Amino acid sequence: MPESGPTRTQGHIPTVDAAPTPALALASGVAARRAGLLVTLVLGGLTALPPLSMDMYLPALPEVTGALHAPAATIQLTLTACLAGMAFGQLVVGPMSDKWGRRRPLLVGMVMYVVATAACALATGAEMLIAFRLLQGLAGAAGIVIARAVVRDLYDGIEMARFFSTLMLISGVAPIVGPLIGAQILRVTDWRGVFHVLTVIGVLLTLVVAKWLHETLPRERRHGGGVVEALHTMRGLLTDRVFTGYVLSGGLAFAALFAYISASPFVVQEIYGASPQTFSLLFGLNSIGLVAVGQINGKLLVGRVSLDKALGFGLVTIALAALALLLMTTGVFGEVGLAPVAAGLFVLMSAMGLAMPNTNAQALMRAPHAAGSASALLGTSSFLVGAIASPLVGIAGEATAVPMAVVQLVCALGAVACFLGLCRPWRAPATPITQSTRIAQS
């Protein structure tokens, strides 16, 4: 029989020869929005898992110190090991995703994460826990680096900056609910229960990725080289002054953030005598500030204010908050209680909502040909500097918050210096790195 209209079917998928009808256009728009929301939720889950792995564990740090009969500085190395694993793991997974696509390395990393997290719950000593946390970080790196690379595959320019702010809204839930969940787990079980819950979350997210996250890097855009090719790509990226400036600025800002994450359980609970539940509430409030400012950045500032201006304001605010914390903790303002210190930490955390999405967007826009490698360098710098900063905050013991404030101020000033000295935002934007310039440099 002849077709009665312009639409024919192949299987169950309609194909249209003529212009789409309003009904088909509306259905197509709804499907696109649903697909976009699904990708957003999956990528948000991947970026939320690492902070969730950190933050659910934070209220248990004092308990782990007693249970494993280890000093606080040693137990803080469990955070350092996880961060170091995430840093170096991204250097491997990022180039792998440029060569083999995003999906396969991600699934392998997620399975390894589940195994490593389950092993953390079985650790019988501090050294064993540190080793398993290192493995957990190495595996968890896949979700971080590939999520950013997928965003670069799908978006560009202002849309990419907006999407990163949206991801911050989703992933920002993890720091809010993580300590709260961890504190409630500690009410009914010990610190090992935190890792049991994380294992279940890892299994569920792995199943979601396997079912709903499709490949975003076509074969024709993949790199065929091996380790040497990956190293050449990274060298080409790092020889770009502007790209390196954004990487270092973002990494140092993240180190200031992680100095807070690493030290705050001891500062709030041991120095100021707060309960794990009070610490969790304060940590959640600070995370709400970060998420709120990130949404202001994505919904109001992007497209109206240059990304560099928003980034610069965020970095300067972080530095001023760190300076105020140093003055308070050294006694310049006399004996201060928990409220002023918590206010300073709130401002510092909130300003991260301007620094983090804009450094990611600006750096990735410089490297459209190698999103995986660029994402790996971004993540590695952040987590490596954070891993170095983590043990420094406890170098003077558990009775003072001065080392935390010193580390935060040094990192914040370093971030401002790198932004001004290398990115030079007052100049016209430089041409992004291209495949041809990378080949010429190599």
Could you give the 3-state DSSP secondary structure of residue 396? Answer: coil
Question: pLDDT tens digit string along 108-135?
Answer: 999 999 999 999 999 989 999 999 999 9
Could you give the 3-state DSSP secondary structure of residue 15? Answer: strand
What is the Cβ-side half-sphere exposure of residue 201, based on CA atoms within 13 angstroms?
20
CA 33, 38, 41, 44 torsion: positive or negative? negative
pLDDT confidence of residue 440: 37
Please identify which residue in the block is written with the tokens 């450094």. Answer: 359
What are the residues facing 201 on neighbouring strands?
none
Q: Is the pLDDT of residue 434 over 80?
A: no
Q: Is the pLDDT of residue 222 over 90?
A: no
Cα separation of 391 and 80, whole Å?
Answer: 7
| Single-letter amino acid, residue 413 | L
Nearest to 55 by CA among 171, 188, 142: 171
Task: Classify residue 302 by its DSSP letter.
Answer: B
pLDDT confidence of residue 417: 96
The stretch 206-229 carries a mean pLDDT of 80
What is the value of pTM for the model shown? 0.69
Question: pLDDT tens digit string along 58-74?
Answer: 788 888 888 888 887 78
| Single-letter amino acid, residue 160 | M
Token pair, residue 408, equals 């935060």
Cα separation of 313 and 292, whole Å?
Answer: 16
Question: pLDDT tens digit string along 316-347?
Answer: 999 999 999 999 988 887 778 888 989 999 99
**Whether the Cβ atoms of residue 82 and residue 75 lie closer than 8 Å to each other:** no
The stretch 102-106 carries a mean pLDDT of 90
Q: Is the pLDDT of residue 411 over 50?
A: yes
pLDDT confidence of residue 398: 61
Sorted by sequence, the CB contacts under 8 Å of residue 116 that are 6+ apart come out as: 132, 135, 136, 138, 139
**Whether the Cβ atoms of residue 33 and residue 40 lie closer than 8 Å to each other:** no
Cα separation of 278 and 61, whole Å?
Answer: 15
**Whether the Cβ atoms of residue 133 and residue 85 lie closer than 8 Å to each other:** yes
pLDDT confidence of residue 321: 95
